[in-house]
Structure 1
Amino acid sequence: MALRLVQVNFKARDDSALGRFWAEALGWGISSEGPGVTNVEPVGSVYPDPAAFCVDVVTVPDPETVKYRTRLDLNTASAAHQVELVEHLCKLGATPADVGQGDVPWTVLADPEGNLFRVLEPRAIYRDTGPIAAVVVSCADPRAMARFWGEATDWTLHEVTDHHARLRSANGVGPYLEFLRTPAVRSVWGRVHLDLRPYPGDDQAAEVARLRALGATIADVGQGDVPWVCLADSEGNEFCVLTPG
């Protein structure tokens, strides 16, 4: 058994407005599965697709204002493209963010609701990922995170050190999932999390039990009676196990 990483989920005050920002930022399209939910996905893609790792934006009553653990890193093809993309994003409503990064080749921005993300300088490793280079999760122990997420999903581990771990779809497409060792990671709920989906014919409850045996715990984030299951990994990063499909 294994799970697929299918999307990154943003909690929002206004899913429609934030969804429009990310759709224009990534050059993707918008759909909706119901009120309060905006799906951002590549035009023409068939969900779920590892090459089309999606963004799901969901309105919640009071999104937490916290130091977020999970962020997106955006890909660029050249130095000129990086400059143009930053200018484009700022016109869409992004703002420069100072997180103590100092003199670095990437640019840190915040989206209109304050979610931090980076526009990277061109890097050869990301040349075929699409607009999202990586989903990056701050953590205390990248090796432990690599073990858990490598067993939880069908993604392949590409690199692991004491400071960084990198996984990607076994099909070699789409963005990377990266874990970055970060001092003083806060144990708080985040506004951005990952959604995983069992393959058709697999059993959601069995997958949840398997994840709990790997060290995941049940998470109550006020979700109420929903068809998905909210869990947290050993460092408290929330994620959801969706129904098979």
Structure 2
Amino acid sequence: MGFNEAAFNYYISSDHIKGDDLDLIRKNFKNKEFECLLDVATGAGHCAAAVPAKRRYTLDPSMPMLKTAKDKFGLNLPVCAVAENLPYADNTFDIVTCRIAMHHFKSPELFFREAKRILRPLGWMIIIDNIVDVEDSYLNVIEYIRDSTHVRSYRLDEILGFARNDFRLIDYTCIFKKHDFPEWAGRLAEGPEAVERIENAFKELPDDIQKELEVEKTYGKISAYTDKKGFFVFRSV
């Protein structure tokens, strides 16, 4: 199953419909209203809907995702495109957001350069994505087994490296996010056999990595695991 077929699954997903990261967006900008927002790789639109902005543009390579965002959140300015080639003029937006998507991008460096280009001076950028460290190669392999469009989850220093020439870091929060395994594994899976492959990959992890990911089992079946999300607040320089 691809993202086109899974658009509604993402709208109702417990991983996307709520979370500490959305709460942080609301907290950080509760007294602010932006003129113009671009939410990159918007998915079902949860992030775009959380940002206070007069105009909300959404971009995603999946038309069904954009339609879901429009239908469910009233986000009416969708564009079907990829993050590395943003089809907007220079100095267009006050804020760019990207939530739980950058690990799919072929070139995060190019995305950061594009975001800098389309932002107005001192524009804001919010990046929320998976963060890895000791479990780097293990979790990236499992993510790829689950979803062949996964490219890589990055370390903290790598993400700061993508930003170093064009942005300064204003704030950073590490969020530990617990996932309901059957829901997470089944969101894109083609069927029970695909879910079983993902589960077996978790069971084969070294004990120390299972402990790092807080893998939980119920009657011998994987029931939950916990990973890290980085919440980055940048401003363009």
Under a length normalisation based on structure 1, what TM-score does the superposition of the two structures give?
0.34
Under a length normalisation based on structure 2, what TM-score does the superposition of the two structures give?
0.35
